[in-house]
A = this chain, B = another copy of it.
Amino acid sequence: MPRVLRFTEEQIAAAKRYAAQTPPSDLDPRIEALVNDLIGQVADRWTMLILEVLAEKGVLRFTRLSELVEGISQKMLTQTLRHMERDGLVKRTVHPVVPPKVEYRLTQLGMNLGAAFCGVWVWAAENLKHVEQARGAFDKKGRGAGRA
């Protein structure tokens, strides 16, 4: 499912650029809160999956998207796409024909976000085993001792 594993060289380069920046030093708390909110909205399960498939496939119509994003309901697909459109992550193009034809593609902003997430996907792919080991250890020895 993490189609990000097929991110283009260009996208990976963008991820590098993001990670390479020394983050700006302290901002005013108002901004910090906004950044926080923004991440909260964007780090959502469906948003990330849609980001992935659009990054991989380029342009997709509604029905195709619903097939590619496994397990998503129409309701959530519509809702998530609207949010992403509102945030400027995807471009929605309506062709006024019958039956309707609507195309979705990532904006530059969306692609940049995908690139920024790339590091997280890589982390997850690399450390899956470590996490599973940690869970196994926790579940076995955690029970029965150590709780305050």
Contacts and interface: CB of A to CB of B under 8 A. Distances in A.
Interface of A: 1-2, 4-7, 9, 12, 15-16, 18-27, 29, 31-36, 38-40, 42-45, 48-49, 85-88, 92, 94, 100, 102, 109, 112-113, 115-125, 127-128, 130-131, 133-135, 138-139, 142, 146-148
Nearest to A85: B138
A130 B40 CA distance: 17
- Interface secondary structure of A, over-half rule: helix
- Give the one of A1, A31, A112 with max B CB within 10 A: A1
8 contacts: A16-B16, A18-B122, A19-B19, A19-B118, A27-B125, A35-B124, A85-B138, A115-B119
Contact of A120 (B7, B39, B49, B92): B39
- Taken together, the copies of this chain in the complex come to 2
Contacts of A117: 119-120
A43 B139 CA distance: 22
Contacts of A122: 18-19, 21, 23, 116
B123 A116 contact: yes
Contacts of A134: 86-88, 109
A88 B131 contact: yes
A37 B48 CA distance: 12
Given A19-B122, A123-B113, A131-B109, A33 B1 contact: yes
